């Protein structure tokens, strides 16, 4: 078996890469999409269903699991893999993004962040060292450096956030004790190329096993996101995986891979499923729409998921209107399948040397949201 956390690039078409990232819980075939399990569960589906969908990497949220049930409890129960019965790779975030989202109940200082729990109002403090200690208790394969995500258009705030993110990344490296976890750094800097470059170059010098591009998908335009991705691609080491945090619509996956991204995560497919929306290869549809009342065909004729193999659109519409739990489960299975199959097809097209044609065809066919 290959050493853990080495990254092999099998094929590259311009910036797009098909690779293998070796982890203690198996290989990630990249580019890869990770479903999000905020509370150590991908909402509405069982781990067995995820396995059937051939999901490989899943994400869990440090902030939520630290507050409930507590990272020490999870460690006592054998860590996240055992706790949530998932023996494939897991990634945890640093808790930073969620803590900073608690705009009114958190206070940042150069050493860390003090905040109030959204559950019971109790006061907590997370420092870079604490974030690593929590993530070591959780025991994911990929863990993230504690970072501050500035708002995209405030240059002064971004400068301060960036300074902290750099210092905090160094502190995370020093605090880390487990060798079976890969610590990724997070590039910040808003929409400012000079800050992004500074961030990418600083983190590259730390020689981490992977790099995330943070602070995107938080209010900036798509053109700005794509431009930052292209610039960051030039500043990061080529032999390490790049992770674009919180991005996962079908068109964003294709355009992200086009710009050198290897790992994605997003709540979109699972969240949409709980709001009656299905993602297909060409568009997003609302299954509650009256036009499906007696529709015999599945959500997507070309999809081979359990939901599309066995159920009509009319049945799914009935389930969601009757607020039946199975509606969310079937739509989640379908939406995850769409994204996971899309990633497999993207990977194959890179291996076959046909990614540019694939991407052009996909973008031409993509109709967007109904
Ligand atoms: Zn389907």
266-293 pLDDT, tens digit each: 999 999 999 999 999 999 999 999 999 9
Determine the distance separating the centroid of ligand 1 and the alpha carbon of 57, expressed in angstroms: 20
pLDDT at res. 136:
98
Q: Region 299-319: what's the mean pLDDT?
A: 98
Neighbour count for residue 267 (Cβ, 10 Å): 17
**Which among 268, 276, 262, 263 has a CA at the least distance from the CA of 249?**
268
Determine the distance separating the centroid of ligand 1 and the alpha carbon of 332, expressed in angstroms: 9
Determine the distance separating the centroid of ligand 1 and the alpha carbon of 334, expressed in angstroms: 4
| Lowest mean per-residue pLDDT among 96-105, 113-122, 263-272 | 96-105
Q: Could you tell me if 263 and 243 are in contact, meaning their C-beta atoms sit under 8 angstroms apart?
A: yes
pLDDT-based confidence at residue 35 (cuts at 50, 70, 90): very high
| Lowest mean per-residue pLDDT among 100-104, 132-136, 229-233, 330-334 | 100-104
User: Which is higher by pLDDT, 152 or 43?
Assistant: 43
Q: Region 214-236: what's the mean pLDDT?
A: 90
Determine the distance separating the centroid of ligand 1 and the alpha carbon of 336, expressed in angstroms: 9
Determine the distance separating the centroid of ligand 1 and the alpha carbon of 23, expressed in angstroms: 29
pLDDT-based confidence at residue 312 (cuts at 50, 70, 90): very high
Please report how the helices 193-205 and 222-235 are oriented relative to each other, as an axis angle in degrees rounded to 10.
40
Which residues face 266 on adjacent strands? 35
Determine the distance separating the centroid of ligand 1 and the alpha carbon of 307, expressed in angstroms: 5
pLDDT at res. 218:
79
Look up the pTM and report it. Answer: 0.97
Q: Where are the alpha helices (DSSP H) in 2-113?
A: 47-52, 62-67, 71-76, 80-83, 96-101
Which residues are identified as catalytic? 93, 265
């Amino acid at each position: 078996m290959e050493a853990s956390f080495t990254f092999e690039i099998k094929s590259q078409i311009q910036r797009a890469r098909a690779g293998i990232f070796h982890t203690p819980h198996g290989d990630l075939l990249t580019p890869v999409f990770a479903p999000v399990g905020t509370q150590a569960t991908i909402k509405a589906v069982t781990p067995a269903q995820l396995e059937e969908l051939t999901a490989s990497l899943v994400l869990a949220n440090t902030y939520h699991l630290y507050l409930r049930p507590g990272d020490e409890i999870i460690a006592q129960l054998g860590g996240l893999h055992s706790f949530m019965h998932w023996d494939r790779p897991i990634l945890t975030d640093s808790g930073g993004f969620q803590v900073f989202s608690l705009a009114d109940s958190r206070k940042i200082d150069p050493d860390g962040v003090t905040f109030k729990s959204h559950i019971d109002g109790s006061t907590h403090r997370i420092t870079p060292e604490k974030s690593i200690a929590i993530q070591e208790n959780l025991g994911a394969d990929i863990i993230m450096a504690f970072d501050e995500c500035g708002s995209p258009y405030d240059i002064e705030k971004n400068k301060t956030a960036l300074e902290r993110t750099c210092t905090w990344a160094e502190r995370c490296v020093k605090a880390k004790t487990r060798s079976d976890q890969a610590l990724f750094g997070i590039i910040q800097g808003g929409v400012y190329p000079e800050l992004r470059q500074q961030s990418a170059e600083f983190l590259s010098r730390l020689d981490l096993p992977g790099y995330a591009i943070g602070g995107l998908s938080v209010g900036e335009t798509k053109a700005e996101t794509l431009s930052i991705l292209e610039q960051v691609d030039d500043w990061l080491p080529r032999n390490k995986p790049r992770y674009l945090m919180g991005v996962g619509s079908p068109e964003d996956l294709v355009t992200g891979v086009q710009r050198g991204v290897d790992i994605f995560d997003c709540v979109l497919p699972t969240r949409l499923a709980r709001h009656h929306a299905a993602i297909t290869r060409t568009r997003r549809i609302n299954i509650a729409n009256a036009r499906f009342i007696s529709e015999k065909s599945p959500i997507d004729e070309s999809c081979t998921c359990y939901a599309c193999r066995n159920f009509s659109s009319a049945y799914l519409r009935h389930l969601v209107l009757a607020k039946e739990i199975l509606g969310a489960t079937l739509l989640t299975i379908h939406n995850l399948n769409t994204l996971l199959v899309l990633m497999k097809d993207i990977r194959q097209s890179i291996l076959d040397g046909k990614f540019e044609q694939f991407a052009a065809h996909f973008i031409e066919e993509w109709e967007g949201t109904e």
